[in-house]
Structure 1
């Protein structure tokens, strides 16, 4: 038997409720007469018939105003207003009958107000009692999980109301930092101080705490989470306040803590002038638009009302998906403010195709290019060196030369902290790509303003460590970390996209922008925090009785312990507090151009030794032992590996580094 619904048809249930309401109204009328000792005399029969007719019409009125559409278990304030409206209608009908049937000397003006109050008590009270009975029945046969709600504000009160009508959680206590409300009762639940948490968890056998503070800053939430981390509970949170107000989610849709809350990093509000400078009213191209960073850039761009947004990617389904999402976002914006719709064009293609890139930029009169397309997974590029070089280096060079040829105004490359003194092929290819743009700016003197934006790991991007840890914890572990000392910079994808757009607007040509990533995070500390906040204990040499073990797997090929954002020490601020401008050395175009030709020949002949050699010559600090993680690397002796030479020899006398 389903405890949430009585096993009867909807029509039968409504009919039973109508009969009960008719009885309640009749009882209210009878008590009204008896309380005032009214005797209808010879008109008694007529009064009974007339009152019966009034009750019938009242019940039909209840049906008409929707009183029987509300489910008893989920009746709230809105249903209470409907009951009040229906009872008022019934009192009016009863009063009409009363004053029409009886003579003046038999009338008592108090009878109608008494009937109204009694009917309201009976109709509303019966529903309230029925709701409590159903809730009690559900809790007895299917007990809810006791939870503590942290935050007794408006969101906390909404959450309590939603959970009390649900079937999963039973709120047993509020916890709040405000001393003014500690000890008070909110929605029937007592408010406690955070110092009482350990005792509350023990007394109520609580396994989960729900954080109901959607408007709190990330720094405030981090401080709270640090206090909760040592407790043996799973901490969850309600959705963001904006998402609840926009109707995307409901307050009771609790979820795991976001990594942003653990980092405590608050986003600086974007400068709207910088955001729109290269986008509003212009034609914009985003390469790699189906990726995590590219798609978020597209969302930000659509909000800035470009005349046209061109999406380019080789991933068919991802491109289809992001095109559909952006069209819906654009249409909703147009409905909201009546603005002209942005033209959205999705194109399948590869950035290494020079003809395609020139055709796209010419056909759609592209003003601004955000070049996101790249292979970014270090282990994968280590095992696919030729494709990594081809896509990251030549994809950037081809796109940049096409932009220059077609008179594109701004070209912004999305780079990475792994380009700084790289220890892996991916980082080396990204630094090579940066130098291509720097060299083109000086050598060609074109109208295109080239710039690049360098930042660290993006939370929520494909391959991010956070969803991996969450999955491993949910499966009972172990959580795998490459090294106990490895650290990384983190930033949300939304903040990264906003800063990229703003940095590109400040470029003057050849700029290397570095985003303020705040302090680096130790990956093992992040893993420990996630384990604790998901309600488990870490199992290690200090605690053999823990739940989840952390295993160290060793650094992967090409992986660093620490990432850097700057090659040199020369860095200046900009008009944005989170964006810096670096002054860095680079190879001139007359040196890079023959290297590019040699690199292309090496890729064509699948000569990994030549590729390794050229990357080492072009990228300062890149010194891999071999490229032996690539399955295409042929077994060679140590001597042959050390003497590997490019298919076309790089210039013997490389021109000294130039500084911009």
Structure 2
């Protein structure tokens, strides 16, 4: 019968609640009168019964309007109990007024006694039903997932209330604060972090992080502590996002690499953010890429008069245009959005666009960045990264653009691949142009890998772990710098405002991360073990596949040691060797001829001879060039 009642439609449950509350109000009134007069045998006149009837009707109306019957018993919380108390107090007031206007002989103290009695009769059964439902939903009966919540503060408490009880069983809370150990929160005990090991032995399968606004450095410390326990660790959306509806409790996610890095953000310099953007016409090339799109988002926040999105890929342009258009409409931003398709290798189109819209600031993010793909497509990689930058810069000079910011990469430093060498060559082009003219201020910003960009190892590792492995790492010693896309974009904007002309700025990327350590941590935080010679019974194997063509073990951010600080603690200015414009132009002319005739060997030699610090012993693997070489050898052999 109880099961049938619990599974009944909401409308049926509300009718039952209304009937019960009618009886409860009547009993509360009778009990209050008996307690006041000290007698169970009380003759009620027509006036008292009229006052009671009015009280019942008006009280039920108040209960309905206050939402008492919208609350779900199994999720009943303190605010719901407070609502019940307010409703009963209003019911007591109605009883007093009804007694007065009907001229009934209800003692003046009865409404006060009635309020206390009604709270017990109406609130207690609801609490009892809630506990019965929770008892029936214990994990032993329904096989729910046993979890711990790390954080016994406001965020942890709200998370415990928001988690669906038919899916999770909360075994307790974990908190670093010794004063909380042994206390009870939301009917669950609070334990010290040292207790996680013993609790895991009782069937705990997952820890949910509820650390609120704790700094990222503390979050990283907590994750590192849990990592060795081989227990699945996940995090949930911020409580504010849950309350506002931006996220739901279903959006529980795995630990991201930014959680592992523990890098606390630095407050941006607002003057630097506004300087090149606010009330200006700004253009972003490669606007649909991972860096370009984030630049567009942050540029929009600084309220340019016009934001020009320039992108080669139609779908990428469509996506970022839709996102920014919605943002402009939602917040009624005074920004004109212009979406243009095109290639940075079309100099005349670039100049026409810049002149037509009066572009004042350019962020040049358009580039081919995937090392192995550029190695297989050398000519197009050089055309896009070197000549695309050159043509865009020349168009900017003729269109009298004030500021031009190049998004560079740490792979430009002592590169072992064509992609990195092409980006360093692009830097040399802008440094040469800075000497040739003073119309446009050229600035270069160099940084390492950004999390969540196309080709990032993190989603690849996560998918490989989900599939049961192996997790593939190219080399056991390979290391990389990492930074989140929003932080990189924010620093790029600020660095671009500090440039005087020809400056190379380097972003502080923190400590380099060993990729195999990253893979190991991700496996452990999934609650799994690494399978290797020392642990043949482990879950996931890490497989080293060998370095790819042009790949380095270690990335660097500086070519030399001559670096100075700036007004921002995470932005440095690099003083590096560069060429005069005539010297740069000569290299460009020779590169142009080699690319035109598809002589990839000459292209590579020219990049090595230029002061790009490019060194490579890898054989050429450009797909078209190799095919042509093979065809030529066949012709020679036939002739012979």
If the TM-score is normalised by the length of the shorter chain, which range does it land in? over 0.9
Deviation at 1:55, TM superposition (A): 1.6
Q: In structure 2, what is the equivalent of residue 556 of structure 1?
A: 548
Deviation at 1:58, TM superposition (A): 2.3
Alignment partner of 1:362 is 2:355? yes
Q: In structure 2, what is the equivalent of residue 652 of structure 1?
A: none
Name whichever of 499-508 and 240-249 sits farther off.
240-249
* Residues 455 and 515, structure 1, Cα contact 8 Å, conserved in 2: yes
Name whichever of 406-415 and 323-332 sits farther off.
323-332
Q: In structure 2, what is the equivalent of residue 490 of structure 1?
A: 482
* Residues 152 and 173, structure 2, Cα contact 8 Å, conserved in 1: yes
Tell me the C-alpha RMSD between the 2 structures: 2.6
* Residues 285 and 311, structure 2, Cα contact 8 Å, conserved in 1: yes
1:612 to 599, 604, 613: 604
Q: In structure 2, what is the equivalent of residue 225 of structure 1?
A: 223
* Residue deviations 1:136-187 (CA, integer Å, cap 9, x gap): 2333642432212222111111112222x54322221222212222222222
Q: In structure 2, what is the equivalent of residue 179 of structure 1?
A: 178
Q: In structure 2, what is the equivalent of residue 413 of structure 1?
A: 406
User: Quick one: structure 1 residues 243 and 614, their matched pair in 2 at CA, closer, same or farther if it must change by over 3 Å?
Assistant: farther
* Residue deviations 1:536-582 (CA, integer Å, cap 9, x gap): 11111111111111000000000001111111222222222211111
User: Quick one: structure 1 residues 300 and 245, their matched pair in 2 at CA, closer, same or farther if it must change by over 3 Å?
Assistant: farther
Q: In structure 1, what is the equivalent of residue 136 of structure 2?
A: 137
Q: In structure 1, what is the equivalent of residue 94 of structure 2?
A: 93
* Residues 87 and 116, structure 1, Cα contact 8 Å, conserved in 2: yes
Alignment partner of 1:348 is 2:341? yes
TM-score (norm 1): 0.90
Q: In structure 2, what is the equivalent of residue 433 of structure 1?
A: 426
Write the distance in 2 (CA, Å) between the matches of 1:621 and 1:41.
103
* Residues 74 and 130, structure 2, Cα contact 8 Å, conserved in 1: yes
> 1:248-267 residue pairs with structure 2 within 5 A?
248-249=246-247, 253-267=251-265
Structure 2 residue matching 1:633: 3-state secondary structure? helix
Alignment partner of 1:323 is 2:321? yes
Write the distance in 2 (CA, Å) between the matches of 1:182 and 1:41.
54
Q: In structure 2, what is the equivalent of residue 538 of structure 1?
A: 530
Alignment partner of 1:570 is 2:562? yes
Name whichever of 34-43 and 364-373 sits farther off.
34-43
Structure 1 residue matching 2:190: 3-state secondary structure? strand
Structure 2 residue matching 1:586: 3-state secondary structure? coil
User: Quick one: structure 1 residues 276 and 241, their matched pair in 2 at CA, closer, same or farther if it must change by over 3 Å?
Assistant: farther
> 1:191-202 residue pairs with structure 2 within 5 A?
191-202=190-201
Structure 2 residue matching 1:309: 3-state secondary structure? strand
User: Quick one: structure 1 residues 38 and 282, their matched pair in 2 at CA, closer, same or farther if it must change by over 3 Å?
Assistant: same
* Residues 449 and 480, structure 2, Cα contact 8 Å, conserved in 1: yes
* Residues 273 and 497, structure 2, Cα contact 8 Å, conserved in 1: yes
Write the distance in 2 (CA, Å) between the matches of 1:528 and 1:522.
10
Q: In structure 2, what is the equivalent of residue 161 of structure 1?
A: 161
Structure 2 residue matching 1:51: 3-state secondary structure? helix
Alignment partner of 1:302 is 2:300? yes
Deviation at 1:54, TM superposition (A): 3.1
Q: In structure 2, what is the equivalent of residue 313 of structure 1?
A: 311
Q: In structure 1, what is the equivalent of residue 636 of structure 2?
A: none
* Residues 414 and 615, structure 2, Cα contact 8 Å, conserved in 1: no
Write the distance in 2 (CA, Å) between the matches of 1:303 and 1:626.
45
TM-score (norm 2): 0.92
* Residues 158 and 251, structure 1, Cα contact 8 Å, conserved in 2: no
Alignment partner of 1:478 is 2:470? yes
Deviation at 1:101, TM superposition (A): 5.4
Q: In structure 1, what is the equivalent of residue 576 of structure 2?
A: 584
1:286 to 268, 284, 299: 284
Deviation at 1:40, TM superposition (A): 8.4
Q: In structure 1, what is the equivalent of residue 64 of structure 2?
A: 63
* Residues 410 and 556, structure 2, Cα contact 8 Å, conserved in 1: yes
User: Quick one: structure 1 residues 241 and 385, their matched pair in 2 at CA, closer, same or farther if it must change by over 3 Å?
Assistant: farther
Write the distance in 2 (CA, Å) between the matches of 1:2 and 1:41.
36
Name whichever of 214-223 and 289-298 sits farther off.
214-223
* Residues 627 and 633, structure 1, Cα contact 8 Å, conserved in 2: no
Write the distance in 1 (CA, Å) between the matches of 2:3 and 2:337.
50
Deviation at 1:49, TM superposition (A): 5.3
* Residues 313 and 350, structure 1, Cα contact 8 Å, conserved in 2: yes
Q: In structure 1, what is the equivalent of residue 16 of structure 2?
A: 16
Deviation at 1:612, TM superposition (A): 2.3
* Residue deviations 1:610-643 (CA, integer Å, cap 9, x gap): 32233223354334446642221236889x99xx
Deviation at 1:394, TM superposition (A): 1.3
Deviation at 1:271, TM superposition (A): 1.0
* Residues 537 and 548, structure 1, Cα contact 8 Å, conserved in 2: yes
* Residue deviations 1:414-472 (CA, integer Å, cap 9, x gap): 00111111111111111111111011111x22310111111110111111111111111
**Aligned pairs, number:** 630
Unaligned runs of 5+ in 1: 335-339, 642-660
Write the distance in 1 (CA, Å) between the matches of 2:465 and 2:172.
27
Write the distance in 1 (CA, Å) between the matches of 2:119 and 2:238.
39
Write the distance in 1 (CA, Å) between the matches of 2:54 and 2:442.
84
Structure 2 residue matching 1:69: 3-state secondary structure? coil
